[in-house]
Every structure is written in C-alpha cells, then in structure tokens.
Chain A
Amino acid sequence: MTTRVGIITFPGTLDDRDAATAVALGGAEAVPVWHKDTNLNDVDAVILPGGFSYGDYLRAGALASVSPIMKAVIDKANEGMPVLGICNGFQMLCETGLLPGALTRNKELHFICRPELITITNTKTAWTNFFQPGAELVIPIKNGEGCYQIAPESLPELEDKGLIVARYNNNPNGSVNDIAAISNEAGNVVGIMPHPEHAVDGLVGAGVDGLGFFWSIAGVTV
C-alpha cells in the first residue's frame, strides 16, 4: 500500500505545494492537512513544510508549534510516526521540543538562497535510509534564520549519539558544528534546514539529490 504523507499547511506556509510534488515523485501519496484540523486521520508520516508560518511573528515556528494540529503531530511523533520538518518546519520542531536546540539569524544577517553541498552523516532515520553514509548532496538553502545553535553541554550528546543527520560542506550560516539536519534518538523525527523538496527536478530545482529523502519515506519495493 502506498505510504500516505500528510503535508501540513499553516497560514504563511509556502513550500507545501513543493513538498507534495516531491512526495509524489518519491512514490508516496501526499495528503493535505489544515492547521485547524485536530487529528491526522490515517496518514503514515508528516511533513512540516517551509515558509513563514504566522508571519514568523514572535519567533520563527513559535506560533505554529502551538496550533491545533501540532498536538496531534507531537502525540504521533512520540508514538514513532515519521515527521520531517523542513526549514520553518525544523524551527517548529525545535519550538515544540521534539528536537533540541534552536535556529537563529544567519551569521551574515540576511536571507540566503543558493544550492549548498551537504554530507549525510546518519542513514538510519526514517527520512535518510536510502542514502549511503557520507553521501554528498546538492540541496538548496533558502532561509534567514538557519543558524543552528544548541547549549554547549548538549552538543556532545548530539554528536555521540549520532543524531546529526547532515552537515554543510561549506557552512553558509554559522551553524554549530556545520549542522544542517538532526534527528531524535528514535530516528523518526528529522529537522533539516536545506530544502530537499527543491532538489527533485533539475528543470525547476537544484538537481535531483533530494529525491532520496522521499524515496526513504515511500519505502517502495517492487
């Protein structure tokens, strides 16, 4: 049966359409979910797409993290449902506490949109199991607050437990330890700052290296 991936649209979400396209290209079915919904029905996984939910007012991802649908997302994530937060979605996951740390202003203090080289360092998550360890991918970043920070005492735990999922080859935004993506210990919840959904069709995106994320969740074997 085809994997059903819920794509949540908050007011101000922008990359929901692109996430749905990528999910379909990866072989799964994209299911639209509205932020005012209170349950996820029968989806098998969830993507929190990029954008500026609630205008990023207060803090990026802060208001979305307490919206009606997020309670369901948190409950399901704790039960093991795969959740991928991309960019603004990563910020939401940090705000909910599903992932540790926070995203702060880029070190150059302005928005950056360009393809970046990243290296996959954890292939055991629900979203990266189609990659080889050490795989180098071109994935675009587009954010103003992508600088990952975590309390110094918590960083070793992240490193030691292998929870860093991807690192930038040429750190564009000042993220600590070049971190581009992290996961929880169970490996079902992943937050990533670059946009794999914009690297699934070379005609309109930055190559096709992002497809592996969506193959991973589709998990199709024939």
Chain B
Amino acid sequence: MVDTVSNAQATPEVNQPWQKLGLKQDEYQRIKDILGRRPTSAELAMYSVMWSEHCSYKSSKVHLRKFGEKTPDNDVLLIGIGENAGVVDIGDNWAVTFKVESHNHPSFIEPYQGAATGVGGIVRDILAMGARPLAVMDSLRFGDPKAPDTARVLNGVVAGIGGYGNSLGLPNIGGETVFHSSYAGNPLVNALCVGAMRHDQILTSGAEEVGDLVLLYGAATGGDGIGGVSVLASEVFDESAQAARPSVQVGDPFMEKLLIEATLEMARAGLIEAIQDLGGAGLSCATSEMASNGSGGMRVQLDRVPLRDESLTPEEILMSESQERMCAIIAPENLDAVLAICDKWDLSATVIGEVTQTDKLEIYWHDELIVDVPPRTVAHEGPVYERPMKRPANQDNLIVNTTTTLPKPTDGVGIKADLVKLLSHANLADKSWITEQYDKYVRGDTVLSAPDDAGMVRIDRKTGKGVAISLDGNGRYCQLDPYLGAQLNLAEAYRNVAMSGAKPIAVTNCLNFGSPEDPEIMWQFAEAVSGLADGALEFGTPVTGGNVSFYNQTGDVAILPTPVIGVLGVLDDVGKRITRAYSSPGSKVYLLGETKPELDGSIWAEVIHNHLGGVPPKLNIDAEKVLARCMRNFAAYGIAEAAHDLADGGLLVALAEMVYDSGIGMRVELPAELMTAEMLFSESTARALVVVPGYGDTGFHKLCTDLNQPVTLIGEIDDESDGLDVAGLFQLGSQGLSAAFQTKLLAN
C-alpha cells in the first residue's frame, strides 16, 4: 500500500527505517518537526538522500562559506557557488563553465561504471548551465601499482572514462594519475568537464513561472543506483562493500550524446526556462532544488515517469539515480516545439508536473498525495554540523622528521641513479598507455593535451580564443600541512596553466578527505579550505564551485588529504600557445625562479627513502604571479618555443621530461650552487624551464629584467647530444630515458 500524506497523519506511531536510510535520530526528529507529522515513506526517502553528506554538504558547509567570504575582487565571475557549475566571463561575450566532481566510492566497487558515470554526471552539470560541453579531464589516484587490486581498479577506471568520454565525442585533454598506498581501498576518480556558451545562453535551475511545465526527458527510470548517494558516499567502507554493487549506476553514453544535442537545440531556440540534470538523488534532488531555487511551488505526478521496471515503488522512483536524464521547465506554449526536438533525437520526453502558486512541493502517485513538503527544507535547509576538530596528535612529530638527515648522493653516478629511480616510479613514468585510451582529437579544437602541463581547447574558431585548464593535487604536502598544501596545489595548477601562455582567471576544486566524524580529519579539511580560500584571494582568482568527497577511508585508515585543484586560464589566440616539447637545435634553455634546498615532502624523499615528513616548500604567490606574467608575455611575443614547470622531482626530472617528450638532445651546464642533490631534486615553487630560440633571446632578457624575474641560463638544445647531458654529472641517453619512463607499472 502506498503511504500517503493522510495515512501518515492517521498513523503517527509507525516505525520508519530512518536509520537504515542513513539518518540520525535528531535528523529524523527534525523532519517530523518541519512537517508537523511523521514523513510518508516517499518523503523519508527524499529527505534521507537530500540530507546525506553527499547532497547536503552538512559537515563541510560551515567551512565552504570561506570561499564566498574571501572571493577576490574580479571581473570574471558570472555565476558562483550554488548552481550546477560556476560560470566565468572570458571576454568577447563568451562564458565558460567548468567543474570537477568525485566518483570515488562507486569506482572502487565497480570501476568501469563508476568512472563512466562520473564523466556522464559532470558533463550533464555543464550542459545544465546551457553550455556546449567541450572537453573532459580527470584526476586519478590509485593504490600502490604493484598491489594486487590496483590493476583491477585502474584498468576498469581508465576503460570507463575512455568508454564513456570517447563515445560522447568529448576530447580528454589531460589530468593526472598518482599512486600511493593510502588510495588502495579508496581510489580517487575526479572528473572535470569544461563547456562554453554566449552570455545570454546561460541557464539556471530555478522554476519561477506559475503554470510552466516540468518536463523529464532522456532515459527511462530504472532501479539502478537507488540509494547510491546515501549508501555509497556517506558511510565508511567495510567488508560489506561487495554487497553495494547494485547501488552503482550504469551509464549509456549514446543516450547522453543525444541528450546533449537535443538540450542544446532546445536551449539555443530559447525554449528552456530552467533546467537541471538528474544526478545524485535523482528526481528527489531535481524537483526539490528546482522548486527551491525558483518561486517554491511544484506539483509532480510521479506515476507519469517512464519506467524501465514497472515494479518500482514511488520511493524508488524518487531515489533512482538512473543516468542520462534531464529535467527542464518549459512554458506551455513551447511544449510542442520541445517535443518535436526530442522526437528528432529519438528521446522520450514526458510532462510530469507543473510550477504552482503554493510554496510546497507536492508529489502525487495515481492521484494520491504522497509528498507535501516545503522544498527548501529538502534542498537547502538540511542539517548543518560544526564537527569537532583537532590538530592530529602526531602532526608535530611529522613536521620535525625532516629530510635533513636522509643520505643523499654526492656524485654524478649516485645522482643519476636516483634520477632513473624517480623517472621509473609510477608517479613520474610515461602515462601515455593511459592517455592513449582517450580520444583527444574529436571536435577538432584540442590545442594542448597530456603530457603538456595544461590542457587547452579553442573556443572561438574566428578569433582563436581558448581556455587552458590544469588539475593538480598533492596529498604529501597536505599531510604535512593541509593549509599550505592546498595553497601549493593551487600554485601548481596556476603555474601549469601559465606555462601554456594563458592567463589564470578562476579556480574549482574537488576536496577528497577521510571521515568528517574524525576530528583530526575535520581539522585537515578546515585547514585545506582556509588555505585554498586565502590562496585564491591572494592570487586574485575566484573559486567558482567545487565538490566535497568525505569518508574516503577503509576502517580507521584515511587517504592522504587530497584537495584536487582546477585552474582555468584564457588565451586570446591559441595559435600563440607554448608547448612542453621543443624542436629547434641551438635554442637556449633557461631556469626561471629561485631554487632552495627543499626536499621535505618531495617525491624524491618518497621514492628513494619512503619518507614523508618535515615542512613543504615555501609558497611565494608574488613570484608565481610574476612568472605567470612572464609566460603570458613570452606567448604574446612568440619568444618561447617550449616551457615546463618544475614540480614533482624538481629540476632534473623536469629536464628529463622535456628531453623525452621532444626527442632531441639537450646539453646542460649548471651553476655550481645547483650541483647538489638537495638543489637538483628540490621542489621549490615558482620555477619553470623555458626554451628560447635565438631570435627571441634579446626580448626574453628584456622581459625578465622588466618584470624582475630571476633567470639562469642552464643549457642549449643540441641535436648532437644523446638525451640529457649534464656537464660534470652524468649523461642519460635517449635509450636510458625511454627505458626509465616506460617501466612497466602494474603487477599484471
């Protein structure tokens, strides 16, 4: 029997499974207080998914406010945090939207579908802003490559990202793949999508006009992903993880491709008043958020929802996370035109309700009222927790355990051996065996892609305007100092974008942490958010949105705190972009920035000594800004043929990567003060290698002088040299480089 509102009023004492649905006692009580009665089972389903950590941000909300409070003065932010994705102005009437989302837990349980639907979800978020999705990127983290389960997870995730993105016709323009034992039971799959539209094409999700119709279109609703949000994203994994498999959604990229084309055709014809994708929490989320973001009233006839499985109950329909569905608000006079477009693309489309004058979300099941709630209480006024925080007890021990006493090689042979070990390590080795499984050419606008420091797509074919994006995380730095670590991640993403010649203008993020119920994890989270908010303010780049993923832990062991930061930059003419590879013998190689002996938290310490301790490298935001400004000028004047930032592994690793990518030798002569392991593997920030052809040399020096950019001549491109030749230290020939970079990583 269906549990109607009148039934709920008549039977106040019924036992309800609020605990099983992930609600706490006081949360259940609060629902009763809001409604003045017990919730119906459909209402309980809605509240439970919408008040889950994943949907309500109940543990993170109080901290995320800092992003809003510390938004720098800027002239780029068109839509900030709160909508499906943030939108920035890139000039010439173009608006760009970009966002990252996690699909960590599903990707561990069912790697292929977990990763595939992660891509699908973020693409629909971008589409829901009215934008044409243009490209995807991903930031991936797995356990030790030799661990028995890593191949299962990695191969599935990579195949899922490729299988979905390739079939959708979106180029994959880069990202990162990192291995660390802490991610063994909790891989991180963070997917980014970027899209573009004209300013007047931006769409939002508020259902405003009384009498407008609620249209559900795309795939039929099935039993997949029911309760995925609350079950998967909000509880710590234990042995029962296998039983959760049916909660992972299954993706159909072909349907999503039709959804994109049909939605854009409707949107460009001005037929959509408001729109929202169906992702986590499915119809519960879409209906309550659209009503809450708008005038507040909506009536839905749930029995009209097309089903794949006729046996689904109303509660299951409300919670289903079936993929490839969109919900649009349509003016009645436009309905015929909208249905014609859906028909053209062979998409099913059904009017399931209308916007009403009340301030209630009313859902009917065969004429019986089963949901009668104020939508704001479901979508936006969920519980907010100020979780206790505590600086971890071992934080001080971690900090005093520096790299000072670690043995370091003192001659060329030893330094070369360490370098080869680094290049062979999974985190630095060639990842083309992954990126070659992704289509990077489709749409014909990919200007830069992996292994370039940033991905870049052209937006306007007439003017050549385009955007560059980089996604970066570094759990090691964040473990040592989450505040500074988050800022260093931001600095690296900013620097990577700058390397392409683009101007960094906006920030997004995906914050991956352990359980918020652990005060030490909560402290890490709060520190990282503060660091990122303060950093974004100082860089002058607003945070446009983001995503939080908690409960990334197995038992008591959490992942390294891993905020993944995305930075977006603009280049007015992508023809002027700077690549990572060089091509001209005789060009000079310069090191920009200052090197200090900073090995704490470095990949050198991890790989050579399995050591993590001390204080991460110093941050110098002014120096980062100067470096980025230099790069913009080099691009504008066309005087740098290649550039590469220094990050993981420092100077020698960056040199080796450039030589390997380019396939032409390089002779290097370093000043004496750089000739120690501390300096050669140091991860000091605000540094880059820039390759300057002869005709650009004078201009290059003038720009560096004018902008106060420290610069050191360290070498020359030399097609007579084999590989990387560092005078007085070692030579690493092209065969040796290839052998190191192409080391087989996975155990099977």
Which residues on B sit within 8 Å (CB–CB) of A197? 444
- Contact between chains at B446 and A111 (CB < 8 Å): no
- Contact between chains at A203 and B441 (CB < 8 Å): no
Partner of B444, one of A57, A142, A201: A201
Is the CB of A52 closer than 8 A to any CB of chain B?
A: yes
- Contact between chains at A198 and B254 (CB < 8 Å): no
Which of B166, B446, B447 gathers the greatest number of chain A CB atoms within 10 Å?
B166
A213 to chain B, nearest CB (A): 15
Q: What CA separation (Å) do A17 and B252 show in the bound complex?
A: 22
Q: What CA separation (Å) do A129 and B257 show in the bound complex?
A: 35
- Contact between chains at B441 and A205 (CB < 8 Å): yes
Q: What CA separation (Å) do A48 and B623 show in the bound complex?
A: 52
The main secondary structure of chain B at its interface with chain A is mixed
Which residues on A sit within 8 Å (CB–CB) of B445? 204
Given that A52-B253, A55-B253, A114-B436 are known contacts, is A203 also in contact with B574, CB under 8 Å in the complex? Answer: yes
Given that A52-B167, A203-B447 are known contacts, is A14 also in contact with B345, CB under 8 Å in the complex? Answer: no
Per-residue interface assignment for chain B, residues 181 to 201, with 1 indicating a CB less than 8 Å from any chain A CB and 0 otherwise? 000000000000000000000
Number of A-B contacts (CB under 8 A): 84
- Contact between chains at A57 and B441 (CB < 8 Å): no
Is the CB of B162 closer than 8 A to any CB of chain A?
A: yes
Given that A110-B159, A203-B575 are known contacts, is A14 also in contact with B442, CB under 8 Å in the complex? Answer: yes
Is the CB of B644 closer than 8 A to any CB of chain A?
A: no
- Contact between chains at A55 and B439 (CB < 8 Å): no
Given that A51-B169, A203-B447 are known contacts, is A57 also in contact with B254, CB under 8 Å in the complex? Answer: yes
Chain A residues 164-222 with CB under 8 Å of chain B are 195, 197-198, 201, 203-206
Which residues on A sit within 8 Å (CB–CB) of B167? 12, 14, 52, 55-56
Is the CB of B588 closer than 8 A to any CB of chain A?
A: no
- Contact between chains at A204 and B458 (CB < 8 Å): yes
Give the interface size bracket for A toward B. Answer: 20 to 34
- Contact between chains at A11 and B444 (CB < 8 Å): no
Per-residue interface assignment for chain A, residues 29 to 72, with 1 indicating a CB less than 8 Å from any chain B CB and 0 otherwise? 00000000000000000000001101111000000000000000
- Contact between chains at B443 and A17 (CB < 8 Å): yes
Q: What CA separation (Å) do A201 and B447 show in the bound complex?
A: 10
Chain A residues 87-110 with CB under 8 Å of chain B are 110
Which residues on B sit within 8 Å (CB–CB) of A112? 436-437
Q: What CA separation (Å) do A111 and B163 show in the bound complex?
A: 8
Partner of A11, one of B159, B162, B252, B345: B345
A64 to chain B, nearest CB (A): 12
Is the CB of A18 closer than 8 A to any CB of chain B?
A: yes
Which residues on A sit within 8 Å (CB–CB) of B458? 203-204
Is the CB of B503 closer than 8 A to any CB of chain A?
A: no
Give the interface size bracket for B toward A. Answer: 20 to 34
Q: What CA separation (Å) do A17 and B298 show in the bound complex?
A: 40
Chain B residues 131-178 with CB under 8 Å of chain A are 159, 162-163, 166-169
Is the CB of A3 closer than 8 A to any CB of chain B?
A: no
- Contact between chains at A204 and B438 (CB < 8 Å): no
Q: What CA separation (Å) do A195 and B168 show in the bound complex?
A: 17
Is the CB of B396 closer than 8 A to any CB of chain A?
A: no
Which residues on B sit within 8 Å (CB–CB) of A17? 443-444
- Contact between chains at B574 and A52 (CB < 8 Å): no
Which of A54, A198, A204, A205 gathers the greatest number of chain B CB atoms within 10 Å?
A204
A140 to chain B, nearest CB (A): 6
- Contact between chains at A198 and B166 (CB < 8 Å): no
Partner of B446, one of A57, A110, A114, A204: A204
A120 to chain B, nearest CB (A): 21
- Contact between chains at B254 and A55 (CB < 8 Å): yes
Is the CB of B92 closer than 8 A to any CB of chain A?
A: no
Which residues on B sit within 8 Å (CB–CB) of A150? none
Which residues on B sit within 8 Å (CB–CB) of A201? 444
Given that A110-B437, A112-B436, A142-B166 are known contacts, is A12 also in contact with B442, CB under 8 Å in the complex? Answer: no
Q: What CA separation (Å) do A113 and B432 show in the bound complex?
A: 10
B224 to chain A, nearest CB (A): 17
- Contact between chains at B447 and A204 (CB < 8 Å): yes
- Contact between chains at B254 and A142 (CB < 8 Å): no
Q: What CA separation (Å) do A40 and B255 show in the bound complex?
A: 27
Known: A14-B442, A52-B166, A140-B441. 18 other contacts (CB 8 A): A11-B257, A12-B167, A12-B257, A12-B258, A14-B167, A14-B169, A14-B257, A17-B443, A52-B167, A52-B254, A55-B167, A56-B254, A110-B162, A111-B162, A112-B436, A198-B444, A203-B458, A203-B575
Chain A residues with a Cβ under 8 A of chain B: 11-12, 14-15, 17-18, 21, 51-52, 54-57, 110-114, 140, 142, 144, 195, 197-198, 201, 203-206
What are 28 contact pairs spanning A and B, CB under 8 A? A11-B257, A11-B345, A11-B346, A12-B167, A14-B168, A14-B169, A14-B257, A17-B443, A18-B442, A18-B444, A21-B444, A52-B257, A56-B254, A110-B162, A111-B159, A111-B439, A112-B436, A113-B166, A113-B436, A113-B439, A113-B440, A140-B441, A142-B166, A142-B441, A142-B442, A203-B574, A203-B575, A204-B444
Q: In the A-B complex, list the 7 residue pairs whose CB atoms are closest, starting with the nearest.
A: A55-B254, A14-B169, A198-B441, A18-B444, A52-B167, A142-B439, A111-B437
